[in-house]
Amino acid sequence: MFYRAAKPLLFRLPAETAHTATKRLLKAGQGTRIEDALTARYRVDDARLRTSAFGLDFDNPVGVAAGFDKNAEVPGMLAALGFGHVEVGAVTAEAQPGNPRPRLFRLPEDRALVNRMGFNNAGADVVGPRLARTDAPVPLGVNIGKSKVTPLDEAPEDYRYSYERTAAGGDYFVVNVSSPNTPGLRDLQNRDHLEAILGELLDADARPLLVKLSPDLTDGAIEDALAVVDDLALDGVVAVNTTTERPDTLRSHNRAETGGLSGAPIEERATERVRFVAERTDVPVVGVGGVSDAAGAYAKIRAGASLVQLYTALVYEGPALARDINRGLLGLLDRDGFDAVEDAVGADL
């Protein structure tokens, strides 16, 4: 009810300004009775939602994708909103301001966002100690990106620095080589670069270690990346990041903005990519892209996702979203005769 009233006011603000204001409100309530009240209102406690992936236990499969809490400022409050895990970042070795503003755009007619943020964050030296002080009740993932100033051939050392500074506070780590907003970053998805980066992190004992892939990769390129995942015995795959492509169905004038598209327009494609990945690897898959309701989350789970993540839908649906998805998942499990969400993973494969 509150968000329904506040949403028109927030949507009058530039998208990034509204996001910053929302995070400030969450930060003000973190560690207070407000956090306890939100937990009581939004968390769904049901054993059927519990699941395990890459050696970690999750109270439910619905998480916050990287990008919402870049600097690990409000993971406790996001957990209080009912999410089963929170992925912070992307974190880079160097603090960086990101690309010039404006760089985040709503596409309300399409229930989508376009961003060209450029890995703006406070840097691993700031985020790492903050994470280490965080006592969140859910698993925390750390999404690691390449610093813009770092040459591609020095990327392995750059990723390792970020990992080592955040290792004490993260429960799992995601190598982000798929954002479209850092020049040359997607080149790191080719086999030689990927092996070098992941090998460096494994040498640093980074575990659990996952890689996040782009939806714009060809089938062959995804298969090459998955071969690296299997050869190096990684712990999981995140599928997928934002897309630079623009479906013909987009209606908003902001469709012309450059950057990564997220939200409803990529949902079907993202689910197809989850299925493509799950059919070709035995490691857990985290499904991301367009999730906004229980039906969409369930489709990704049945396509092979052990966990799902969202971000864009929070902008349009508000703070009750995780609760609503988790309640809806329980109904869908009952409908299909599954005793637990884990039983539905890959049901459509």
Two structure tokens written together for 162: 């970020």
Q: Is 263 annotated as a binding residue?
A: yes
Residue 319 maps to a domain:
no
- pLDDT bin (cut points 50, 70, 90) of residue 275 is very high
Tally the domains of the chain. 1
Residue 210 maps to a domain:
yes
The catalytic residue among 162, 179, 214, 306 is: 179
Concatenating the DSSP letter of every residue in 266-309 gives GHHHHHHHHHHHHTT-SS-EEEESS--SHHHHHHHHHTTEEEEE
CA–CA gap between residue 261 and residue 179 (Å, rounded): 11
- pLDDT exceeds cutoff 80 at 187: no
Angle 169-114-310 (CA atoms, 0-180°, nearest 5)?
45
Residue at 132: amino acid letter: A
- Looking at residue 65, the DSSP 8-state letter turns out to be P
Nearest C-alpha neighbor of 58 from the set 135, 174, 134, 138: 138
- pLDDT exceeds cutoff 80 at 184: no
Q: Is 316 annotated as a binding residue?
A: no
Residue entry with tokens 């040498």: 203
CA–CA gap between residue 215 and residue 222 (Å, rounded): 9
CA–CA gap between residue 182 and residue 76 (Å, rounded): 29
Q: Is 338 annotated as a binding residue?
A: no
Q: State residue 110's pLDDT score.
A: 98
Domain span at residue 272 reads: 2-44+63-283
Q: State residue 1's pLDDT score.
A: 63
Residue 290 maps to a domain:
no
Q: Is 241 annotated as a binding residue?
A: yes
Buried b (16+ CB within 10 A) or exposed e, 60-82: bbbbbbbbbbbbbbbbbbbbbbb
- Classify the C-alpha dihedral 54-292-2-90 as positive or negative: positive
Buried b (16+ CB within 10 A) or exposed e, 256-268: ebebbbbbbbbbe
- pLDDT exceeds cutoff 80 at 188: no
CA–CA gap between residue 107 and residue 289 (Å, rounded): 15
Q: Is 290 annotated as a binding residue?
A: yes
Average pLDDT over the chain reads: 96
pLDDT digits (tens, 9 = 90+) for 11-30: 999 999 999 999 999 999 99
Residue 154 maps to a domain:
yes
% of the chain residues with pLDDT over 90? 93
- pLDDT exceeds cutoff 90 at 2: no
Q: Is 58 annotated as a binding residue?
A: no
Q: Is 276 annotated as a binding residue?
A: no
Q: Is 214 a catalytic site residue? A: no
pLDDT digits (tens, 9 = 90+) for 108-135: 999 999 999 999 999 999 999 999 999 9
Q: Is 259 annotated as a binding residue?
A: no
Q: Is 120 annotated as a binding residue?
A: no
Whether the link from the prior residue into 102 is cis, omega within 30° of 0, is yes
Residue 243 maps to a domain:
yes
pLDDT digits (tens, 9 = 90+) for 51-107: 999 999 999 999 999 999 999 999 999 999 999 999 999 999 999 999 999 999 999
pLDDT digits (tens, 9 = 90+) for 209-259: 999 999 999 999 899 999 999 999 999 999 999 999 999 999 999 999 999
| Helix, strand and coil percent figures for the chain, each rounded to 5 | 45, 15, 40
Q: Which helix (H) or strand (E) holds 175?
A: strand 172-176
Residue 345 maps to a domain:
no
Q: Is 181 annotated as a binding residue?
A: yes
Residue 255 maps to a domain:
yes
Q: How many CB atoms lie within 10 A of CB 254?
A: 21
Residue 144 maps to a domain:
yes
CATH number at residue 14: 3.20.20.70
% of the chain residues with pLDDT over 70? 99
